[in-house]
Amino acid sequence: MTDTISIILPAKNEAASLRALLPKIQAQMPGAEIIVVNDGSTDDTAEICRQYGAKLVTHPYGMGNGAAVKSGARAAQGEILIFMDADGQHQPQDIPLFLEKLSQGYDMAVGARSRRSQAGVHRAAANGFYNRLASWMVGQKVADLTSGFRAVRADKFRKFLYMLPNGFSYPTTITMSFFRAGFAVGYVPIHTPKRIGTSHMRIARDGVRFLLIIFKIGSLYSPLKLFFPISVAFFLLGCGNYLHTYLTLHRFTNMSAMLLITAMVVFLIGLVSEQITMLAYRDSEH
34 in the same domain as 176: yes
140 in the same domain as 230: no
228 in the same domain as 194: no
Overall average pLDDT of the 91-117 stretch: 90
Domain end: 187, 212, 237, which one?
212
Residue scoring higher pLDDT (204 or 131):
131
Encode pLDDT of 57-99 as tens digits: 999 999 999 999 999 999 999 999 999 999 888 999 999 999 9
Instruction: For residue 153, list its beta bridge partners.
Output: 80
Is residue 218 a part of any domain in this protein? no
Is residue 252 a part of any domain in this protein? yes
Overall average pLDDT of the 112-117 stretch: 74
238 in the same domain as 170: no
Is residue 105 a part of any domain in this protein? yes
Phi, psi values for residue 78, rounded to 5°: -75, 160
231 in the same domain as 169: no
150 in the same domain as 235: no
pTM for the full model?
Answer: 0.82
pLDDT level of residue 167 (50, 70, 90 thresholds): confident
200 in the same domain as 72: yes
Encode pLDDT of 176-202 as tens digits: 889 988 899 999 999 887 655 555 555
Q: Which pLDDT score is estimated for 122?
A: 65
Is residue 33 a part of any domain in this protein? yes
Domain end: 149, 181, 212, which one?
212
Residues listed for the chain: 286
Encode pLDDT of 216-249 as tens digits: 777 878 888 889 999 999 999 999 999 999 999 8
Is residue 133 a part of any domain in this protein? yes
Distance of CA 43 to the CA centre of its chain: 27
Q: CATH code at 196?
A: 3.90.550.10
Domains identified in the chain, total number: 2
Q: Which pLDDT score is estimated for 108?
A: 97
- Residue 204, pLDDT > 60, answer no
Rounded to the nearest 10°, the torsion over CA 209, 215, 217, 222 is -160
Is residue 99 a part of any domain in this protein? yes
DSSP label of 168: T
Give the sign of the dihedral formed by CA 271, CA 275, CA 280, CA 284: positive
pLDDT level of residue 283 (50, 70, 90 thresholds): low
Encode pLDDT of 2-60 as tens digits: 679 999 999 999 999 999 999 999 999 998 999 999 999 999 999 999 999 999 999 99
Q: Which pLDDT score is estimated for 119?
A: 54
265 in the same domain as 171: no
Is residue 274 a part of any domain in this protein? yes
276 in the same domain as 135: no
271 in the same domain as 206: no
Domain end: 212, 241, 262, which one?
212
156 in the same domain as 228: no
Range of the domain at 262: 223-284
248 in the same domain as 198: no
> Alpha helix (H) ranges present in the chain?
15-28, 45-51, 65-75, 95-103, 121-138, 154-157, 170-181, 203-221, 223-248, 254-284
